[in-house]
Structure 1
């Protein structure tokens, strides 16, 4: 397979969409998935017309198999798989909801794992798999224990998955954003703050770089991990947080 190809789950907005744009600009053939019909329609209007935009729920094995079938038919195979689909449901022990808990793990852990499993026949030898985890998996974020746990569970799998796929030179790495200005971040903050802009400004002031990440900050790291420049990197996590979490 001569052309570089990429499938980005959760690619219709935020970090996923920014990554799709960067990879497309670098000559990749790109497919993205999104769960909500409105985000899929918006992405189709915003992304280049040759980007394949598919509606899929990562909790559904049938949807995942359909995505792989369409990507295989369109591209023939994949050199990059960016597992970026995810949900965040802030909750504490006092406010925990069983349905929300199950949804978070179904998308962020089970969905990621089985998307990778279903993609294996399409992945070329030497392909790159990148997983969005997040700084919350290894740092304390108030009200974030369930979302952090779901990402942390997949992070724990990465060294073993990297060794499992090493005979095919398929690299498996994680990228962990700090607070990033995305629609998902704003939605999560809205659930616990009446003034999202003020909350984001306050968070930015605590960051060593004095700002929140933009989706492009994360996307450029993903593009690096997808490239030949990262051909000898596997089983690793890269934090892209502007230094957040470094202070004791």
Structure 2
């Protein structure tokens, strides 16, 4: 973000309360930073206390971290209680926590399959369910999907299916929550350099995967977490006549 952009953003989100799951790194952290810099009060979550501590050191006093696993309903109940105590009500919920392991079709285990769906789908569903009572009228909910849900990318079948489920939830959640004026939309990132691949596969495999994605991308590059954060904030706060939609941030790879 340039200095001028930062000046424009100052105070834009003052008085807004936000919850971001998976907010300690990558897209979640970039979104938290954008909103905190704009004056919002943000609760971030994650499974690693060290990652959350590092994020808080960079976010400053506008953020609070709650350690927990979104696949655990006990942890989500604790999160809801903490958010109620810290913020009271919530204007925006960014359901971003997820994992993205490569799962070759022939060798995918039941354990690997269950873990992806427990975190990416079950976790997202119950995050919204548990925090819905705290959402204000007119609040925005954003679910992180992926371009993998519309593209047949090798070794992503389980991950892609989990993100397709989130795309569906964006529609059905919208029907459930629109009577309260709560908008639910999906944010679909393409190849974004968040470091998540390096955390799940070898450096060599990650480098090869990235090279393949760059070649296929019309912009011939990976996007940045900050570019996705701008889209997340737009859906959460500015897209007031948009519900059940999926907004793609992918360098044009699924469109061109």
Contact 2:99 2:116 in 1 (8 A): yes
Taking the aligned partners of 2:73 and 2:242, their CA distance within structure 1 comes to: 30
**Does the alignment pair 1:232 with 2:241?**
yes
Taking the aligned partners of 1:157 and 1:216, their CA distance within structure 2 comes to: 25
- Which segment drifts farther, 200-209 or 130-139? 200-209
Q: What's the counterpart of residue 187 of structure 2?
A: 175
Contact 1:179 1:185 in 2 (8 A): no
Contact 1:4 1:28 in 2 (8 A): yes
Aligned-pair distance for 1:210? 1.7
Contact 2:39 2:62 in 1 (8 A): no
Contact 2:117 2:162 in 1 (8 A): yes
Contact 2:101 2:197 in 1 (8 A): no
Aligned-pair distance for 1:45? 2.2
Taking the aligned partners of 2:143 and 2:187, their CA distance within structure 1 comes to: 6
Q: What's the counterpart of residue 158 of structure 1?
A: 170
**Does the alignment pair 1:220 with 2:215?**
no
**Does the alignment pair 1:23 with 2:35?**
yes
Supply the RMSD in Å over aligned alpha carbons: 1.6
SS in 2 for 1:185: coil
* Aligned counterparts, 1:139-158, within 5 A: 139-158=151-170
User: After TM superposition, where is structure 1 displaced by more than 6 Å over at least 4 residues in a row?
Assistant: none
Taking the aligned partners of 1:73 and 1:162, their CA distance within structure 2 comes to: 26
Taking the aligned partners of 1:90 and 1:97, their CA distance within structure 2 comes to: 12
Aligned-pair distance for 1:110? 0.5
Contact 1:177 1:240 in 2 (8 A): yes
CA 169–86 in structure 1, closer or farther in 2 if over 3 Å, else same: same
Contact 1:104 1:146 in 2 (8 A): yes
* Aligned counterparts, 1:81-92, within 5 A: 81-92=93-104
Long gaps (5+) in structure 2: 1-13
Aligned-pair distance for 1:202? 4.5
CA 145–196 in structure 1, closer or farther in 2 if over 3 Å, else same: closer
Long gaps (5+) in structure 1: none
Q: Output one character per residue of 1:86-131: Cα deviation in whole Å (capped at 9) or x when no partner.
A: 0112112211111111010000000100010000111001000000
Taking the aligned partners of 1:99 and 1:113, their CA distance within structure 2 comes to: 20
Structure-2-length-normalised TM-score: 0.90
Taking the aligned partners of 1:197 and 1:156, their CA distance within structure 2 comes to: 31
